[in-house]
Copies of this chain bind each other. A is one copy, B any other.
């Protein structure tokens, strides 16, 4: 055969290059105008939904009015509640970052700029449903009214930490609030969420699961396992991909590869997939509700790619100045989720600056108060960490002999 092509091409790879140099708006692919994308029927054919792949579910336009098919049924109060929750998440986040700067906590991860996704989806789901989150969805807990003080105790790793100081800060867990224990190992929760949803259906239950993953972590193998199982068994699960455009230092195209969008990944499994403006509270609510309805009516899984931006550093251990352009957040074309919902309420004539400032103050006061209480229990930095003996609990349901001996040994040490 070798005579067919006398001058072979030397092969070469495509190595994606970070977008550092580029103008940030370039980085968001395929932005539609608000209201442009039609809302498919719950049981629309996957091929037809796939044809919408370069569209973006958006509800709030530049003036703050809600337009198009996807406008959700929400009362003004529900919207105000959404604004309040997002402000609370943001205030909490800022307070924790400050605590880290003050040397009171060992580590922190912010969700700045991504508040709408977790808050609005939580509002669209029901008690009893179970989220399998990553470290960037504190909004799920806060909007389900999980106590701020308890969250802070966890972050402080103090004696009141419900997790007994075992986990890194932000790795919350609350079964009662539908928030699965966070793992430090990326992507493992994705297939677990599918398993949980399968369990609900195996038992003829009515609760659905919601799986969360960052766009970078979709490269992990458990993402595939989740899609295979969700597709094969038609599990009642929402498969969220939060595309915040960064995975530590690597831009989203390392995981996306040559494909146009992350939503495309659903197609090969016949899982309907949407791309949604993640900084648009109403769009998030509407899309989450659509996916939840599909799950609740045995129409199977839905994949949603949420477009947003990681505004802050990856974590308090990270220095993004090495790899990202400084003005990126300011130039992000989808704006800020808090500003946009606020503008919408203003547009509706339901909100003004004074109200906003008052709410901000109220929320900050709530956070300060909670932090005062939480800090009163000390922190890992002050050494108020409860008894080290608790480390031997919960390894097993009952303490086995070898752990009892080790615990005794720890106590016997000088």
Contacts and interface: CB of A to CB of B under 8 A. Distances in A.
Interface of A: 1-2, 5, 8-16, 123-127, 197-198, 200-202, 204-206, 208, 219, 221-225, 227-228, 230-236, 253-260, 264-271, 295-298, 300
B13 A235 contact: yes
Contacts of A201: 11-13
Contacts of A15: 233
Given A16-B232, A234-B258, 13 more contacts: A8-B206, A9-B206, A9-B296, A10-B205, A11-B206, A12-B201, A221-B221, A231-B258, A232-B258, A259-B267, A260-B270, A264-B270, A265-B269
A229 to B, nearest CB: 8
Contacts of A13: 198, 201-202, 233-235
A233 to B, nearest CB: 4
A298 B222 CA distance: 30
Contacts of A219: 225, 228
A232 B206 contact: no
A256 B232 CA distance: 7
A200 B231 contact: no
A298 B12 contact: yes
For this chain, the copies found in one complex come to 2
B234 A14 contact: yes
Nearest to A271: B258
A414 to B, nearest CB: 39
Given A13-B198, A14-B233, A204-B10, A266 B268 contact: yes
Contacts of A264: 267-270
A257 B202 CA distance: 17
Contacts of A232: 14, 16, 253-258
Q: Which 6 A-B pairs have the closest CB atoms?
A: A231-B257, A221-B221, A224-B224, A11-B201, A265-B268, A258-B270
A202 B13 CA distance: 7
Contact of A228 (B257, B266, B295): B257
A222 B221 CA distance: 7
Contacts of A204: 10-12
A53 B212 CA distance: 30
